[in-house]
Structure 1
Amino acid sequence: MGMFERWLTVWVGLAIVVGIGLGLTAPGAFAVVAALEVAHVNLVVAVLIWVMIYPMMIQIDFASVRDVGRRPQGLALTLVVNWLIKPFTMAALGVLFFHHLFAPWVDPASADEYIAGMILLGVAPCTAMVFVWSQLTRGDPNYTLVQVSVNDLVMIVAFAPIAAFLLGVTDIVVPWQTLLLSTVLYVVLPLLAGVLTRRALSSPGAVATFVARLKPASVVGLLATVLMLFALQAETLVAQPVVIALIAIPLIIQTYGIFAITFVLARRMRLPYPVAAPACLIGTSNFFELAVAVAISLFGLHSGAALATVVGVLVEVPVMLSLVALMRRFGRLFPAYA
């Protein structure tokens, strides 16, 4: 591991502090950045995430992707956790905390909206950042691509029914533009760029050398994304610190809990480490663009549901970095760990 990877948690912490500081001192500049969006997808953040994903896409070998079907266990585990476990545990935690444990400090109407936002996060498994987490854990890029692609297809048909069931309503409006645009920005375009780059490079050695040179840019993209997200939400963080802390507690418990469940199941299934690593992380991360967009369209920009989805964005990177560290530390428990 290079210096940036080894101390990544420290750099992320600094990016959070700097982001909040810049957001408070120059809110106008970040308001301009926030306005640069299409279908609730911020284009600046999309470019930064694209920079992070691109190096991993170069490593994808489509000849190997065809072999993923011979190892369906990891994909099956991901689908079960993402669609049969995660949404329901998120809803249960939301009810437990906001209808019971936090009831003395949160009014019932706000509690319902916070729970709704948590549910929307739970029903939206990650699309983009999984590639980053997989790369940091040295997961199989080919398998990660298949996992993300299949989950995107399932999300198209399963997101609205599950969200409607858990929210107790039947008029969930899925912002299809957000879903499709995010898939194009975070999967299709970087994948196409990776394929073209791989073809332009004549040998596996050239590919490895090129990817190694891109690693610093990938880390910078991650840090810039963190800085941007915290700068955009700086005023909210300062204005409602207690509420944000209350929302963050069940979200953090959910993230570690889903990781633990997937880790134990992957261990019992004896999945090889390069498959187990992305499988353990894809369910713990969230497709926050979709969750935020649906929360805004259903409950409004300044609703508790929208705030809960934003808190999900804020806690995700630090928590996911800790899970990456745990996965690498205990990866030796899985076969084929290198």
Structure 2
Amino acid sequence: MSASDASVAPAPAPGGIGFFEKWLSVWVALSIIAGLVLGNALPGLFQALAALEIAKVNLVVAILIWAMVYPMMVAVDFKSLTHIGDRPKGLVLTIIVNWLVKPFTMAGLAVLFFEVIFADWISPADAQQYIAGLILLGAAPCTAMVFVWSQLTRGDATYTLVQVSVNDIIMIFAFAPIVAFLLGVTDIVVPWETLILSVVLYILIPLAAGALTRQWLARSGGDTDAAVARFTGAVKPVSVIGLLATVVLLFGFQGQVIIDEPVLIALIAVPLLIQSYGIFAIAYGAAWLWRVPFNVAAPCALIGTSNFFELAVAVAISLFGLTSGAALATVVGVLVEVPVMLSLVAFANRTRRHFT
């Protein structure tokens, strides 16, 4: 353990996963069913919603994505960057896993499964779409649920804030080039202007709005963290509605495809599951070998494993459309993530004694 690691007292963040987060996969599954039913019952409505576009941005989906992303951006505290040197090992591991490992392993698994293993079951055109969606998930490190996973392992709260803040800054500059590179390697043509517009709309603007809101809450006096917690708690229902409504829309558009090929969801989930458990093993194992304290090692590995699925969904829709296989693949990521992450939280807590 380095001197800098030893000099900072652990700051466990007691708390637990909320009712919505705990059963997120159930709500998503119910929204999928609702989307399939409504898509087949009211096709004209979904066609009208799909037509509400400006510069390849669907206005309905844009509003829903902002409703999802904005509350989590209010929780980001850039003042926490003053602690960037307090837990250097965990931060180094997280940056390496999130930006130098995870996007490329996800792309490799996507190509392996959809161009080789599943090649006899899926057409090449559809395979390219699913690959694109998985790449978008792999290149979007988690922002919102990070705090939940950290709390469940009693992680260092300050480190978690630093990690989220650093990740968001890196994401502004690195997300578009990494996605463009990986999609280009897989022979998927991506218009740069659309990709950059997506970064501005779904990362930069919500991040700026969150920072301004946080400043406004700080000026109101009192405990800023408590004020932020109250504010995000008040707007959380809007975020929940945004997520579930987006899932309903996506599966409303994809209804006929899913009904014709129900096994498709399982096929998309396979590389996602391998990626999630594999990335966790890499990050958690590296943290153990480097003697990183548990209250940093566990959040570090969990943060690297989870995805910013709201961003992935939004960009998939902007690049490929509401009815695309890429959009479908990103939504499957939402369905898979919570049960996987809860299983990893349980594993981390059971192995706590092996860390310093």
Aligned to 2:7: none
Retained in 1: the 8 A contact 2:217–2:227?
Answer: no
Letter in 1 for 2:110: G
* Structure 1, unaligned runs of 5 or more: none
- Quote the residue 1:319 is aligned against: 336
Do the aligned partners of 2:80 and 2:162 also contact (CA within 8 Å) in 1? yes
Q: For residues 61-80 of structure 1, what are the structure 2 equivalents within 5 Å?
A: 61-80=77-96
Residues 38/263 of structure 1: CA separation in 2 closer, same or farther (3 Å cut): farther
Q: What letter matches 1:181 in structure 2?
A: L
Given residue 35 of structure 2, which amino acid in structure 1 is its aligned partner?
G
- The answer on whether the counterparts of 1:55 and 1:218 sit within 8 Å (CA) in structure 2 is yes
Call closer, same or farther: CA 1:33–1:315 in 2, change over 3 Å: same
Question: Contact 1:143 / 1:275 at 8 angstroms: preserved in 2?
Answer: no
* 2:148 aligned with 1:136: yes
CA RMSD of aligned residues (A): 3.6
> Shift of residue 293 of structure 1?
4.2
Retained in 2: the 8 A contact 1:55–1:214?
yes
Give the aligned partner of residue 314 of structure 2.
289
Deviates more, 1:244-253 or 1:271-280: 271-280
Q: Please report how far the alpha carbon of residue 315 of structure 1 lies from its aligned counterpart in structure 2 after TM superposition.
A: 0.8
**Other-structure match for 2:286:** 265
Corresponding residue to 1:189 among 185, 194, 209: 209
Q: Secondary structure at the match of 1:57?
A: helix
For the 8 Å contact 2:97–2:283, the answer to whether it is kept is yes
Deviations 1:231-288 (A, max 9, x none): 3432332244345543443334333433443343344442554675366345542534
Change (3 A) 1:20 1:237: same
Matched, 1:249 2:270: yes
What is the CA deviation profile of residues 67-100 of structure 1, one whole-angstrom value per residue up to 9, with x for unaligned ones? 2244343443233223432343234323433444
Match among 137, 142, 167 for residue 186 of structure 2:
167
2:84 aligned counterpart, secondary structure: helix
Q: How many residues align?
A: 322
1:280 maps to which residue?
302
Does the 8 Å contact 2:172/2:204 carry over to 1?
no
Query: What is the letter of the counterpart of residue 94 of structure 1?
Result: A
User: The residue matched to 1:241 in structure 2 has which SS?
Assistant: coil
User: Once the two structures are superposed, what CA deviation does each residue of 1:273-327 show, in whole Å capped at 9, x if it has no partner?
Assistant: 467536634554253433454456xxxx98xxx42x2232221112111233234
Q: TM-score, normalized by length of structure 1?
A: 0.76
Report the 3-state secondary structure (helix = DSSP H, G, I; strand = E; otherwise coil) of the residue aligned with 1:104: coil
